[in-house]
Structure 1
Amino acid sequence: MKKKFAAGTAIGALCAAIAPAPALAQSSVTLYGVVDEAIAFVNNQNGHSNTYFRQGNLYSSRVGLRGSEQLSSTLSVIFDLQEGFDPSTGKQSSPGLAFNRQSFVGLQDTRLGTVTLGRQYTPYYQLVGALGPVGFLTGATGAHPGDIDGLDTTIRANSSVVYTSPSLYGFKVSGQYGFGGVPGSMQSGSTISAALRYDGGPVSVAAGYLRMNNIGGAAKLDPDASAAYGSSAVNQGYVSARAVQHIAAAADYTLGKIVFGVNYSNVQYLPGSHSLFTDTAIFNTYGAFARYSFNTAFDVAGAYSYTHASEGNGIDDSARYHQISLKEDYHLSKRTTLYALQAWQHAGGRTLGAAGAGDIIDAAPVVGDSQNATPSTTSSQFVAMFGLAVAF
């Protein structure tokens, strides 16, 4: 359940618009959410096949409160508090974080746009991710290996301010700065993101940038600093980077019942004095997808991606990943969907293990972002899921 808000502007300009017409003030609060559960089969998780329940495959299971108060004819205060949970157990998706998915407040003006403050998705994801495979398939099996490029919902920036412009001739821009909160260092733990998107008729095109600066420790990017960043067997040898930089572009074209799309991403792990590796590690991913809607109730989609890592850090046969993802879904109603997912990934070459430089291991397949903690011990991994998602 995604809703597009009118875009944003500078805080000062928005505040200046508050004065008129207090009599127009209206407020609303909406309880919303999704419950998504599936039976999943994986042919190899750390050496063993597994059949199990898994939540959040088509849509992440979540519950939230979203509200607004109208301050003038054009200006409103908005907020969104959103928590993820596992319907199999009732547990929080992120223990200790009551609103792990998003928690922000802001000002929204229909002429000038929106400024929001809090824990939020990045413009990189919001404007570019929706045009990638995740927007038309799902992150569980459609995200690029281990969600290496953050085009799924893995990355959220804490203590951040986001500005999103209104749409002008089909163009929309957005920028974000996340404060690291480290005394004496504005850069440590900070996040910077920006994106541009164009929507015109059957064509949509977007490009985005994201940089996450480490707080300084050697272990990994600190999830308690600005950006919460996931790791897997794909990138585990490089998460001690002083900074991670993402650049991505995506485009799609709608022709009747068919949607075609292509995407590209470049991810760089930049080493520092505390890093466990010495050479910049680069992952380039190329992808394509298509979706066909038979009618308003049933559609199918498929995607292919190829990810290739750079050489260096003692590796001369760099890691590479081929992934094929499929999705079929049937809408029983506007809110209820039956779905099936299948994905296969093959990995080759070598990469760094969790110990960094010197720990050279075979690249392990990690389908989408559903198997980040459970890579295959062979050169391929197959995942299939059948589930039900209900939105409210």
Structure 2
Amino acid sequence: MKRLMVTVVAGMGCGIAPSVFAQSSVTLYGIVDVGVSYASNVGGHAQAQEQSGIFNGNRFGFKGQEDLGGGLSAVFQLEDGFSANNGTFGQGTTGSTGSTAAAAVTRLFGRQAWVGIKSAWATVTLGRQYDFMYDLAPIAASNYATSYMHRPGTANALLGNDGSTTDLDRIGGARVDNSVKVSSAPLGGFSLGGIYGFGGQAGAFSNGGTQGAGAKYAQGNLQVAAAWTNLKEADASSSYRVYGGGARYQLGPVRLSGLYTNAEWTATGDRVDTVEFGAQYLITPAFSLAASYYYSKPNNEAKNVILKGTRNQVGVVADYAFSKATDVYLACDYQRAKHGYAAQIYSLSPTDATTNHQSVIALGVQHFF
């Protein structure tokens, strides 16, 4: 991935002690992803449209590091999402947190906005940042067959995601505002972390807050990760809890992965279990084929407030890379919902199909910088 690097070196002026010498760097980066899709059934009709962020969410950002000496560094990241169709911000306004609606606020850096201190042992960051469920994204089916493999759902009112994804198990990238995050440096391939989001209520320290933890092992061709997140209602009446775990393995030109997640709303006892698999075969250094599958099963099918109807979805992708920075892809997805519920492929929300099945084909291009 290409990067534009700006390096600033603070030189030693006359009479300045060497101990104040410091070096810092700032990197500008991003992804632009857009394509044309054709869906078989959207509100009872076929639909062709231009779509932004089919494979990867469009973004641009800045990240930097400054050497503070003594093994410490200051780190930061500011990142915003946007639509390549019309140039508008993504994650642009706050949403709802449980039953309490937040006031609409325009965001400049809706994807990430944090600063912290890094040492040889751990990194501590503060701001708006991902919880550890997002660490499962490289294992998830969407990593193989576009964002169409994220789960649809009505959980956006429960997630407390403040303008992030409505993906019910948060792997699509829900963020935590007002949060402190601690991540250990890898030791023998293992790393651990925890996150706490302040609810911000006077006299009720934990109400509306978020707690989460994650563990990861990465060594050679194997990657294993597990995570848990708990979002407490503003009135402390209930919580939205998500956990999951999975593994990915690289076997020559073949990459394989499997993942399980569970999402639960304690107010109603509703939950959704999801199992998914992904595989990619690198035919040549430039051309690859990938396939993925997920199965989501809610309890209380007729009344489940997170997701109604068991879902099966398959996706396949052919990808050709012109360079390390630019590739084109052809994606095909099909979803079937059981027990009389309408199908709904994630990126086509909020409009359901009028039948229990829906398919989409998309041709797109993405560029990394």
TM-score of the two chains, using structure 2 as the length reference? 0.83
> Per the alignment, in what secondary structure is the counterpart of residue 77 of structure 2?
strand
CA contact (8 A) 2:229 2:242 kept: yes
> Per the alignment, in what secondary structure is the counterpart of residue 359 of structure 2?
strand
Q: CA deviation at 1:108?
A: 1.3
Q: Please say if 1:117 is aligned against 2:126.
A: yes
Letter in 2 for 1:152: G
Q: How does 1:188-337 map to 2 (within 5 A)?
A: 188-216=207-235, 242-271=238-267, 279-311=268-300, 319-337=309-327
Counterpart position of 1:381: 358
> Per the alignment, in what secondary structure is the counterpart of residue 329 of structure 2?
strand
Letter in 1 for 2:252: G
Aligned match for 1:149, one of 162, 165, 169: 169
Aligned-partner Cα distance in 1 for 2:278–2:47 = 28
- Note the alpha carbon deviations across 1:142-197, whole angstroms, 9 max, x for none: 223443212122x1000111111111111111110111112221222211111111
CA contact (8 A) 1:263 1:286 kept: yes
Q: CA deviation at 1:312?
A: 7.2
Q: CA deviation at 1:372?
A: 2.8
- Alignment size in residue pairs: 327
Q: How does 1:6-85 map to 2 (within 5 A)?
A: 22-72=19-69, 74-85=71-82
Aligned match for 2:194, one of 169, 175, 178: 175
Query: 1:305 and 1:83, CA in 2 relative to 1: closer, same or farther beyond 3 A?
Result: same
Sequence identity percentage = 31
Q: CA deviation at 1:24?
A: 4.2
Query: 1:37 and 1:115, CA in 2 relative to 1: closer, same or farther beyond 3 A?
Result: same
5+ long unaligned stretches in structure 1: 4-19, 218-240, 272-278, 350-361
Letter in 2 for 1:363: Y
Q: How does 1:80-99 map to 2 (within 5 A)?
A: 80-95=77-92, 96-99=106-109
Q: CA deviation at 1:313?
A: 7.3
> Per the alignment, in what secondary structure is the counterpart of residue 370 of structure 1?
helix
Query: 1:2 and 1:84, CA in 2 relative to 1: closer, same or farther beyond 3 A?
Result: farther
CA contact (8 A) 2:193 2:213 kept: yes
> Per the alignment, in what secondary structure is the counterpart of residue 71 of structure 1?
strand
Query: 1:34 and 1:71, CA in 2 relative to 1: closer, same or farther beyond 3 A?
Result: same
Q: CA deviation at 1:21?
A: 7.2
Letter in 1 for 2:171: L
Aligned-partner Cα distance in 2 for 1:249–1:365 = 26
Letter in 2 for 1:209: W
Aligned match for 1:346, one of 299, 311, 336: 336
Stretches of 4+ moved more than 4 A in 1? 312-315
CA contact (8 A) 2:2 2:325 kept: no
Query: 1:173 and 1:92, CA in 2 relative to 1: closer, same or farther beyond 3 A?
Result: same
CA contact (8 A) 2:341 2:355 kept: no
Query: 1:65 and 1:187, CA in 2 relative to 1: closer, same or farther beyond 3 A?
Result: same
Aligned match for 2:111, one of 101, 117, 121: 101
Query: 1:167 and 1:304, CA in 2 relative to 1: closer, same or farther beyond 3 A?
Result: same
CA contact (8 A) 1:24 1:70 kept: no
Aligned-partner Cα distance in 2 for 1:306–1:249 = 15
> Per the alignment, in what secondary structure is the counterpart of residue 295 of structure 1?
coil
- Note the alpha carbon deviations across 1:104-134, whole angstroms, 9 max, x for none: 001112x1121111000111212x2222213
Aligned-partner Cα distance in 2 for 1:156–1:89 = 24
> Per the alignment, in what secondary structure is the counterpart of residue 296 of structure 1?
coil
> Per the alignment, in what secondary structure is the counterpart of residue 132 of structure 1?
coil
Between Structure 1 and Structure 2, the one with more strand by share is: 2
Q: CA deviation at 1:243?
A: 1.5
CA contact (8 A) 1:145 1:323 kept: no
CA contact (8 A) 2:302 2:309 kept: no
CA contact (8 A) 1:79 1:104 kept: yes
Q: CA deviation at 1:46?
A: 2.3
Aligned-partner Cα distance in 2 for 1:143–1:344 = 13
Q: CA deviation at 1:201?
A: 2.4
5+ long unaligned stretches in structure 2: 4-16, 93-105, 154-166
CA contact (8 A) 1:308 1:319 kept: yes
Q: CA deviation at 1:265?
A: 0.9
Letter in 2 for 1:181: G
What RMSD, in angstroms, separates the aligned Cα atoms of the two structures?
A: 2.2
Letter in 2 for 1:260: L
Counterpart position of 1:220: none
Aligned-partner Cα distance in 2 for 1:72–1:152 = 36
Aligned match for 2:183, one of 136, 149, 164: 164
CA contact (8 A) 1:365 1:379 kept: yes
